[in-house]
Amino acid sequence: MISVPDAAVAVAFGELGRFRREFYRCLTGRADALFELTDALLCTDGPVKTLVDLTLAPEHRRGHGAMYDGLNAGGIDVQRLRTAVAGLPLSRSREGRLMLAVDVSPWLRPDAATSPDRLFCHVHGRSRNQDQQIPGWPYSFVAALEPGRTSWTAVLDAVRLGPDDDVAEVTAGQVRAVLHRLLDAGHWHDGDPDVLVVFDSGYDLARLAFLLADLPVEVLGRLRSDRVLRLPALPRRPGTMGRPAKHGGEFHLADAGTWPAPQHTATTDTTRYGVATALAWDRLHPRLTRRAAWLDHAGDLPVLEGTLIRLTVQHLPGDRDPKPLWLWSSRTGASPSHVDNLWQAFLRRFDLEHTFRLFKQTLGWTAPRLRSPEAADRWTWLVIAGHTQLRLARGLTQDLRRPWERPTDPDRLTPARVRRGFRYLRPKTTRPAGAPKPTTAGPGRPPGSKNRLHAIQHDVGKTTKRDKSLKDRKQR
């Protein structure tokens, strides 16, 4: 008789094997080389520093030339791979809703003058006045979050932002496509809570809420502390002539004198931050003007109301001074319990930062010095496919800890620790890649000849400049 744990292991092995077979089918060119490169990524000890080091792994049976040929000339059916990732099991919050996090992480390429489509990427310094703008390829990621403190996320999509892209429009289109794939996979049904999509500061939350208004989503994001919102308009007095007011008084986030009494006040005891106090105001909205993104909007500008939340805590880890955290949700009429769930869900957004750190420091996402952005896209999706396999194998590996590391429960292993045991798991699962065919090296360049084909150098930055106001459009 099969015990319950054995049955769960069998199900996990089956899920991992099915994804590996589907991942192999998504590789439309140089499939064997790309698949073995992903296996080498998962089975190599230590952080990935260079791609050629992966070709020395026993799991990679081909040479370094085949590896570079696969990245530069291979093919991946990205849409099919996105569908495969969206069909895997996903975690939900305590109230049973899906939580998605959206953020941009740059692949910095400051010295790659011959690499096209580079943009100036914002890089944080140790202090605000040390921030930099460094050339690179920015990638927008969408990942499903898990409840509770964890370093695991389920990366569902990645899109490279180009010189002609409008960040808000591309992000809204990306979230829309992810939602449709999740709906097709049966992760959401009528009557389920709206999917919560969490953003950090820097996103135009009101515009994203407007672009996604026809979907079952709730937009939640952080606001800068110097923002100014508007209160709801006061009821119109009887006999008043003229156009009804659309906006109420100003709400300065930095000026407590402009704050009315909050609709909800809640306190929560936390283990890491002490007592957390959340104040919530209903129906606050930004005052839109016909500038920038709203310049071509037809008709009257909408009033996009939501819930404003101010979160304060007693202390931060490391004895840092806590500052108030301002959040805005596209939902109005939120209950006190829903307000608590919102700010707790926003704190889970930082789990995506752990994923970015794993991608860059352990899996070597930004380690290769690839020239073409298309090759960078292929490598990005190989890393995502590898991370997805780690997520499926998290309950199948043992804790191969270093002597100086503390023991960890099997159900609390981090992605890096699961990766240590994947080499011993790989022989037990599907390996669809074929054996390499014997070949001989090419003749190469004739002795004494020089490369006369110089690579084209490309400028950095946006190529499409959009008008910020009607005055700018008239002066053009």
| CA distances to 297, 454, 463, 469, 471 from 476, in Å | 19, 36, 16, 11, 9
Q: How many CB atoms lie within 10 A of CB 84?
A: 21
Range of the domain at 40: 4-76+393-428
| 155 and 280 share one domain | yes
On whether the CB atoms of residues 15 and 389 are closer than 8 A, the answer is no
Candidates 329, 326, 287, 289; CA nearest to 306 is: 329
Q: In the numeric block, which tokens belong to residue 349?
A: 């957004």
Which CA distances in Å does 167 have to 21, 124, 163? 34, 19, 10
Whether 144 is covered by a domain: the verdict is yes
Task: Please check the confidence at residue 192 and state whether its pLDDT lies above 80.
Answer: yes
φ/ψ (deg, to 5) at 105? -125, 130
Same domain, 203 and 324: yes
The answer, yes or no, to whether residue 4 has pLDDT greater than 50, is no
Residues 136 and 107 sit within 8 Å (Cβ to Cβ): yes
| Cβ(33)–Cβ(62) below 8 Å | yes
pLDDT of residue 475: 65
pTM over 0.75: yes
Collect all residues with Cβ–Cβ distance below 8 Å to 96 and sequence separation of at least 6.
192, 193
Q: How many domains does the chain have?
A: 2
DSSP track, 112-168: -TT-SS-EEEEE--SSGGG-EEEEEEEEEEEEE--SSS-S--EEEEEEE--TT--HH
Per-residue pLDDT tens over the stretch 377-406: 999 999 999 999 999 999 898 888 888 888
CATH number, domain of 274, equals: 3.90.350.10
Model pLDDT for residues 221-249, shown as the tens digit of each residue: 999 999 999 999 988 777 777 777 889 99
Average pLDDT over residues 312-329: 88
Question: How far apart, in Å, do the first and last CA atoms of the chain sit?
Answer: 78
pLDDT in tens, 67-104: 999 999 999 999 999 999 999 999 999 889 999 999 99
In a domain, 174, yes or no: yes
197 with 321, same domain: the answer is yes
For residues 393-423, b (16+ Cβ closer than 10 Å) or e, as one string? bbbbbebeeeeeeeeeeeeebbbbbbbbbbb
Q: Are residues 173 and 314 in the same domain?
A: yes
